[in-house]
Structure 1
Amino acid sequence: MYDYVIVGAGSAGCVLAARLSEDPSVRVCLIEAGPSDDLETIHIPAAFGELFRTRVDWDYDSHEEPALRRRRIFLPRGRVLGGTSSINAMLYLRGNKLDYDSWGQPGWSYDELLPYFRRSEDNERGASYYHGAGGPMSVSDGRSRNIQSQAFLEAAGQAGWTANDDFNAGDQEGFGFFQVTQRDGRRCSTAVAYLHPAMDRPNLTVETNIQVHKVLTQGNRAVGVVGSRLDDEVVVRAEREVILCAGAYNSPQLLMLSGIGPADHLRMLGIDVVLDHPEVGRNLQDHPLVPLIFTHDQPVSLLIAEEPEYVRQFAEEGRGPLTSNGPEAGGFVRTRDGLSAPDVVYFSGPLMFADSGLGLPTGHAITYGPVMLTPRSRGEVTLDSNNPTTKPKIQHNYYQDEDDLRTALAGVRIGLDIARQKAMGPYHQAWLNAPASESDADLTEYIRGYTHSIFHGSSTCAIGKVVDPELRVMGIEGLRVADVSVMPTTGRGAPNASAIAIGEKAADLIAGRPPLDPADPHLLADTAR
């Protein structure tokens, strides 16, 4: 028996477990389906692609996507301590102020969330109005700074786009290097930042290799979870609360397996309905990316990263190409007039990132392209079976709304304009998989054929639809969800930063602590506000 049972040791779950267990009077159990994060490749930034489809990845795919030539889209998710923060590209990108304010939920505006972003952060640039120093999560400038990334930024400037040295401050627009969740050149996941420093606490139990199958309920109250480790059933009881931190795909799946979801869907699968909750699993969103891959003969891509001199540089200095997070640089733009904020971001990486990162690089290349930040298309997560080990059915419906396709087309044209600038000349010898022409029709077919996910699924247990602003599942006592699934919209960032802030805020909500004060004098001290 524990006070709190947390399901999922990912970006939010590790934060929540560490923060709740700061109170020695409560007993916390954190349950993770995957193993510990002791694989060396987890901690070498440039090796993140080697983790895809391994034992530390849930290895999901979408259902056939009608607007993408019925392709199934690869959707990696971390199945390991640290969750997806242990296998992602380490970008530290909050959403835009407008994103959080547009949620319209009490306690979740940008100004109310900013103190939680700051509390979590140990930014190597130091504290300011927008950033924290001394928090658990290391945020740093990248240590690779590949020559191709430099060239991409120079080309963006030649194309007329402005520079930006901090996408997490007052203005997102412009091009620059991204900050990353790294410490001394190595990955800083939430397991590294939050969980491992707390592991020796006697009131914190961390269970790995247990896949939770359902939430146990008595009447309208959650009382624990049941799952399995290999062939052994495991039951863990919660005296106060069960908190799902399993992510955009697994949190709604667990709710439905527990009888909490669309009643007709559950009955069709023979699942006893505990609560008819039609919105569970709906509102699924993601950021689609259109990759533009340009090959060349310059020996400067990440293919050189494992050469002895760079292995030594990484081991001794924590620098060099092995510290590359992939998308080292990029920029936020508005593709049309009249928008209140950027609708596209470019991620640029000094490598051949083909087939959603599953294809082996066959030569030196640079990959970049538009990521659609404000898609109108919506998908859903449902069940294909009442067997809890069956993967959920994921349908993103990319480009279901034609406006998303128009944005993608405009984004590709901006990307091609950057490619033609002088600074990109040495790295623009051939366009891999180029369409027959650059007509709207041919580029649209290219977009349909090569768009893939940038792995930012969210919003399937949204605040105001599935959970209330306290993150409590509406209609069930003692049950909350605290991960990116509660975000009403994905927003204009990389969700990992938001997941960390959600974990921080959830800890205060659960513990009954007052919210952090946005008007704290320390927050207001920065004259650059």
Structure 2
Amino acid sequence: MYDYVIVGGGSAGCVLAARLTEDPDVTVCVVEAGPLDTVENIHVPAGFAKLFRTGVDWDYDTHDEPGLNGRRVFLPQGRVLGGTSSINSMIYVRGNPLDFDAWGQPGWGFDDLLGYFLRSEDNDRGESAFHGVGGPLGVSDNRARNPMSTAFLAAAAAAGFAANDDFNGPAQDGFGYFQVNQRDGRRSSAATAFLHPVLHRPNLTLEANLQTHRVLVEGGRATGVVGFRAGEEITVRAEREVVLAAGAYNSPQLLMLSGIGPAAMLGALNIPVVLDQPLVGQNLQDHALVPLVYTHRHPISMLAAGAPESVHQFVTEGRGPLTSNGPEAGGFVRTLSGLPAPDVEFLTAPVMIADSGLAAPTAHAITLGASLLTPLSRGHVSLGSDDPTAKPRIVHNYYADPADLDTAVRALRIALEIAGTAPLEPYTETAFRPPASTSEEDLRAYARARTQSTYHPVGTCAMGQVVDAELRVMGVEGLRVVDASVMPTITRGNTNAPVIAIAEKAADLISGAPALPARGTEALAA
């Protein structure tokens, strides 16, 4: 029996466990389906793509996507301590202040959350109105800075776009290097930052390799979870609350397996209905990415990152190609005049990224492309089986709203313009699987054929729909959800930093600690 049982040792779960156990009188058990984060490629930044479809990845795919010619899209998600923060590209972007204000939830505006962003941060740029120091999470400038990334930024400038050296500063628009979740050139995941330093606490228990199958609900209250490890059923009881921190795919799956979801679907699968809640699993959102790939003769891509001199530099200095997070540089752009904030995020990586990163690079190359920051399309997560080990049925419905495809085409035109400038000429010798032409029809066809996920699922247990503004599941006592699924709408940028801030605030909500004071953002608004 514990006070709190946290399901999921990922970005949110690690933060919650660390913060809640600051009170020595509170006991917490973290239940993680995957193993400990001991795989070397987790901690060597350039090795993250080698983690896909391994034992530390849930290895999900979408179901047939109607807007992508029936293709299925690869969806990696961390099944390991640290969750997806242990296998992602480490980009630290909070999003735009308008994102959080648009949620319309009391206590969740950007001014309310900025203090939580700063509390988690240990930014090597030092303390300022926009950055925090002394927090658990390492945030640093990129140490790799491949010549192709620098050329990409020069190309964006040549195409007329402004520079921006801080996407978490006064303004989001413009191009520059991303800050990354690294410390001394190594990954700073939620596990290494928040959980490992406190695992010695006697009031904290970690149960790894234990996959939760359902939440126990007795008399309308969550009282624990049931899981399996090595064929053995294990029950973990919660005196106060069960907190689902399993992510935008697995949290709704667990709710439905526990009888909380659409009654018609649950009944068809012979799952006893605890609460008819048709919105569980709905409202799924993601940033669709449309990449362009160009090959060239220069032996400077990440294919060369494993050279002995690079390994030596990484081991001795924490610098060099092995510190690359992949998409080192990028930018935020408004593809239409009159938009209140950027609607596209550009990313570039000094490597060939083909087939959602699942195909081995066959040549030195540069990949650049844009992800759609404000999609109107909505998908869903549902069950295909009552077996808890079966993967959830995921449909993102990319381009279900025609306006999203319009945005993708505008973004493609900008990407092609940047690729055609002089600074990138040495690295764009041969287009790899390019659009047939720049006609509207061919660019639309290219987007449908090549779009992939940016691996940012959110929204499936949204505030105001499934959970309230304190992240409590409406209709069930003692049960909360704390992860990306609670976002009503997706943020403009990579979603890991917002998830950590959500968990920081949730820890105060759960413990009853006073909320951090709101911080004025007049400079940001200006």
Q: TM-score per shorter chain, which class? A: over 0.9
CA deviation digits over 1:290-345, x for unaligned, max 9?
A: 01001110111001100000010000000000000000000000001111100001
Distance (Å, rounded) in 1 between the aligned partners of 2:443 and 2:379? 24
CA deviation digits over 1:121-141, x for unaligned, max 9?
A: 000001111111000000000
SS at match of 1:205: strand
Look up the match of 1:185.
Answer: 185
Which residue identity does 2:353 align to in structure 1? F
Q: Shift in Å at residue 185 of structure 1?
A: 0.3
Which residue identity does 1:372 align to in structure 2? L
Q: Please say if residues 149 and 348 of structure 2, whose CA atoms lie closer than 8 Å, have aligned partners that are also in contact.
A: yes
Distance (Å, rounded) in 1 between the aligned partners of 2:311 and 2:196? 26
CA deviation digits over 1:147-195, x for unaligned, max 9?
A: 0000000000000000001101221000000000000000000000000
Q: Please say if residues 85 and 496 of structure 1, whose CA atoms lie closer than 8 Å, have aligned partners that are also in contact.
A: yes
Which residue identity does 1:166 align to in structure 2? D
CA pair 203-45 structure 1, distance change in 2 beyond 3 A: same
Distance (Å, rounded) in 2 between the aligned partners of 1:42 and 1:413? 35
Distance (Å, rounded) in 1 between the aligned partners of 2:523 and 2:275? 48
Look up the match of 2:482.
Answer: 482
1:96-245 alignment runs, 5 A limit: 96-245=96-245
Which residue identity does 1:154 align to in structure 2? A
SS at match of 1:6: strand
Gaps of 5+ in 2: none
1:31-110 alignment runs, 5 A limit: 31-110=31-110
Look up the match of 1:383.
Answer: 383
Q: Please say if residues 214 and 227 of structure 1, whose CA atoms lie closer than 8 Å, have aligned partners that are also in contact.
A: yes
Distance (Å, rounded) in 1 between the aligned partners of 2:71 and 2:524? 51
Distance (Å, rounded) in 2 between the aligned partners of 1:361 and 1:5? 42
Distance (Å, rounded) in 2 between the aligned partners of 1:526 and 1:182? 27
Q: Shift in Å at residue 237 of structure 1?
A: 0.2
Which residue identity does 1:213 align to in structure 2? H
Q: Shift in Å at residue 528 of structure 1?
A: 12
Look up the match of 2:512.
Answer: 512
SS at match of 1:291: strand
Distance (Å, rounded) in 2 between the aligned partners of 1:481 and 1:411? 34
Q: Shift in Å at residue 527 of structure 1?
A: 12
CA deviation digits over 1:263-287, x for unaligned, max 9?
A: 1111111000000111100000000
Distance (Å, rounded) in 1 between the aligned partners of 2:523 and 2:395? 45
Distance (Å, rounded) in 2 between the aligned partners of 1:85 and 1:498? 12
Distance (Å, rounded) in 1 between the aligned partners of 2:162 and 2:151? 15
Distance (Å, rounded) in 1 between the aligned partners of 2:521 and 2:361? 48
Q: Please say if residues 228 and 234 of structure 2, whose CA atoms lie closer than 8 Å, have aligned partners that are also in contact.
A: yes
Look up the match of 1:322.
Answer: 322
Look up the match of 1:3.
Answer: 3
CA pair 512-300 structure 1, distance change in 2 beyond 3 A: same
Q: Please say if residues 128 and 526 of structure 1, whose CA atoms lie closer than 8 Å, have aligned partners that are also in contact.
A: no
Distance (Å, rounded) in 2 between the aligned partners of 1:60 and 1:282? 18
Distance (Å, rounded) in 2 between the aligned partners of 1:290 and 1:524? 33
1:413-432 alignment runs, 5 A limit: 413-432=413-432
CA deviation digits over 1:228-263, x for unaligned, max 9?
A: 002000000000000000000000000000000111
Q: Shift in Å at residue 97 of structure 1?
A: 0.4
Look up the match of 1:492.
Answer: 492
Q: Shift in Å at residue 434 of structure 1?
A: 1.4
CA deviation digits over 1:477-509, x for unaligned, max 9?
A: 000000000001111011100110011011000
1:198-347 alignment runs, 5 A limit: 198-347=198-347
Gaps of 5+ in 1: none
Q: Shift in Å at residue 43 of structure 1?
A: 0.2
Q: Which stretches of structure 1, 4 residues or longer, exceed 2 Å deviation after superposition?
A: 523-529
Q: Please say if residues 227 and 235 of structure 2, whose CA atoms lie closer than 8 Å, have aligned partners that are also in contact.
A: yes
Distance (Å, rounded) in 2 between the aligned partners of 1:48 and 1:477? 39
Moved more, 119-128 or 434-443: 434-443
Q: Please say if residues 169 and 524 of structure 2, whose CA atoms lie closer than 8 Å, have aligned partners that are also in contact.
A: no
SS at match of 1:282: coil
Distance (Å, rounded) in 1 between the aligned partners of 2:443 and 2:486? 35
SS at match of 1:166: coil
Q: Please say if residues 170 and 524 of structure 2, whose CA atoms lie closer than 8 Å, have aligned partners that are also in contact.
A: no
Which residue identity does 2:23 align to in structure 1? D
SS at match of 1:236: strand
Q: Shift in Å at residue 431 of structure 1?
A: 1.0
2:398 matches 1:365: no
SS at match of 1:162: coil
Distance (Å, rounded) in 2 between the aligned partners of 1:443 and 1:43? 38
Q: Please say if residues 138 and 188 of structure 1, whose CA atoms lie closer than 8 Å, have aligned partners that are also in contact.
A: yes
CA deviation digits over 1:376-399, x for unaligned, max 9?
A: 000000000001100000000000
Which residue identity does 1:365 align to in structure 2? A
Distance (Å, rounded) in 2 between the aligned partners of 1:256 and 1:7? 15
Taking structure 1 as the reference length, the TM-score comes to: 0.98
Distance (Å, rounded) in 2 between the aligned partners of 1:524 and 1:250? 34
Q: Shift in Å at residue 436 of structure 1?
A: 2.1
Distance (Å, rounded) in 1 between the aligned partners of 2:525 and 2:114? 16
SS at match of 2:253: helix
Taking structure 2 as the reference length, the TM-score comes to: 0.99
CA deviation digits over 1:62-87, x for unaligned, max 9?
A: 00001101000000000000000000
CA pair 527-280 structure 1, distance change in 2 beyond 3 A: closer
